[in-house]
A and B are shown apart, each in its own frame.
Chain A
Amino acid sequence: MKKETMNSMQRVLTTLGFQEPDRVPFFLFLSLHGARELGISLKEYFSQAENVFEGQMILREKYRDDCVSNFYYGPSEIEAWGGEVLYREDGPPNSGKPFIQNYSDIDNLQVPEINEIPVLQRVLKTTKLLFNEVQDTVPIIGVVMSPFSLPVMQMGFDKYIELIYRDEMRFRKLMEVNTRFCINWANAQLATGATAICYFDPVSSPTIIPKELYLKTGYAIAKNTISQINGPTATHLASGISLPIAEELPITGTAIIGVSSQEDLTELKSSFKNKLTVIGNLNGIEMRHWTEQETRNNVIEAIRKGAPGGGFILSDNHGEIPWQVSDDTLMTISKTVHEHGFYPIGRI
């Protein structure tokens, strides 16, 4: 078996420079599985920064992947705005009833102060603990919801789409406060040790809005926001397609694109060549019932298509692996990368 000659940070930086590192870097975004490792409920897990830190370290040691993350759950940002979060034991906490019920509620929105929000403070504490432990050897991935995608949780998807089309003034006002919050939140994570920020922006995907509308909205907002984030960003469209906006995405200032399992990796690599590093695209939902052989085949196919030439990180297609994915499957992913992911990628 070939030997690793780089640490995770060197491996990731090499691939980001569109060069081939020692082996294909892979990120397992396991925001929930740490609770299982510690034998506690998800609610208890997320109640202490130390739990999430410990969970991340155990998972990394077990699966030997190339990042750790301070990510708790999407609606943590909704808590910051005073919204409701609903816990469950079989998946990530979900946002509750949207706190913007009428468009007029937007008029009085104030940007939340990060240092006043307990859950955000816990995330920052986890970030610090992770940094103290891994320093510059492993990338620490922070996460923000984009200003353009956050309203799905703030007001509900249906009402938000209608707002975009029917009330430009209030849409602009909402984007203004969300952008200020997003920049503050991203920079707070970077200041406490995050290496890069994952900019979750599913609404910008052509799966959700047409390109013409994206250019006037999500694209312009991403350019403005990302330019004020004091570190590298990875845009993730959370299972949404990206090829129709492949020319525009690099111009937003992002360095990495999270891609969908519904698009072909060969085509994605070719479209983003030397512009963006591609991260993806194992199907996290299907992964729940993959056999060992299917897991190996899917990982090998992704490596074969994505890895040559660098600019590739193997991961799932959504940025979060479901709670229902078994340890055995995760272990098979890891083993397959460690067996077949060394450069140069030959005929596998």
Chain B
Amino acid sequence: MNREKITNALLSVDQVSVRKLILDYLGNNDPFEIIENIVIPAMEQIGIGWEKGEVALSQVYMSGRIVEEIVDEILPPSDPKRKNQPKMAIAVLNDFHLLGKRIIYSLLRASGYSLVDLGHVTVDELVEEVITQNIEIILISVLMLPSALQVKNFKEKLAVRGYRPKIMVGGAPFRLDKQLALEVGADYTAVTINEILKVINNIVGVVS
């Protein structure tokens, strides 16, 4: 399959063509092979474009949505073939700006991971969710600086209760200030799709 074709169809937000290209390739192939060889490389290529300023956030988001829907079709969420991994969740802390979380959620699900979507939560709600659901890897997305600063508070509250999941943060304030992730005590941060996938693979390896 011409990877360029699928990347271009994704960038044009041409859902019909993307679906056709992937399903044509599927045939008797293993869905994971398609994810590994087609979906992830295409998303990585789009990620490189975003990094270079050649691809816009709306294209990253819509690409993720399109491939997520198709991957759900060929590899249903409950399929035992999905990756065996530590329990992972994603949340937006304190504000209602859900786009970043949605992008990462789609990307990871399209890459074969399972993760719990905790939606929009306050610090206290997130602490409770992490504890009751026994989350080992928590991904936190923020848009506003004050929300980013609350990650420190979240980590401290969990520590008081004896919990120490791996914390990964992302969003505009972390992109604009490279020291911020360290300042709030996050274990990891990433800006690009490629970095995010690399970091998640790494965390999953560490926690497993």
Partner-B contacts on A (CB < 8 A): 88, 90-92, 94-98, 152, 156-158, 161-162, 164-165, 206-210, 213, 239, 241, 244, 261-262, 283, 285-286, 288-289, 322-324
Contact = CB atoms under 8 A, between A and B. Distances in A.
B57 interface: yes
A156 B98 contact: yes
A285 B145 contact: yes
A239 B95 CA distance: 19
Contacts of B177: 283, 285-286, 288-289
B13 to A, nearest CB: 5
Q: 6 tightest A-B contacts by CB?
A: A91-B146, A157-B99, A285-B176, A285-B177, A90-B146, A158-B102
B180 A285 contact: yes
B176 A261 contact: yes
Contacts of A323: 146
Contacts of B57: 207-209
13 contacts: A88-B94, A90-B149, A98-B96, A161-B61, A208-B58, A209-B57, A209-B58, A210-B11, A244-B53, A262-B176, A285-B177, A324-B145, A324-B146
Contacts of A164: 58
A314 to B, nearest CB: 18
A289 B56 contact: no
Nearest to B55: A210
A157 to B, nearest CB: 4
Interface string B71-95: 0000000000000000000000011
B198 interface: no
B56 A209 contact: yes
B165 interface: no
A316 B176 CA distance: 13
B146 A285 contact: no
B172 interface: yes
Contacts of B95: 94
B204 interface: no
A273 to B, nearest CB: 21
B65 A210 contact: no
A209 B62 CA distance: 11
A214 B115 CA distance: 34
Contacts of A283: 176-177
A239 B58 contact: no
B173 interface: yes
Contacts of A324: 145-146, 149
Contacts of A96: 96
Contacts of B59: 210
Contacts of A322: 145
A157 B98 contact: yes
A157 B172 CA distance: 14
Contacts of B20: none
A62 B78 CA distance: 61
B179 A289 contact: yes
B203 to A, nearest CB: 25
A299 to B, nearest CB: 18
Contacts of A97: 96
A206 B145 contact: no
B147 to A, nearest CB: 8
Given A158-B61, A162-B62, A165-B13, A210 B56 contact: yes
A97 B119 CA distance: 12
Contacts of A157: 97-99
A210 B180 CA distance: 28
A152, A209, A285, A324 — most chain B CB neighbours (10 Å) = A285
Contacts of A165: 13, 58, 62
B153 to A, nearest CB: 11
Contacts of B144: 91-92, 94
Contact of A91 (B53, B55, B145): B145
Contacts of B172: 239
Nearest to A243: B53
Given A94-B96, A97-B96, A206 B56 contact: yes
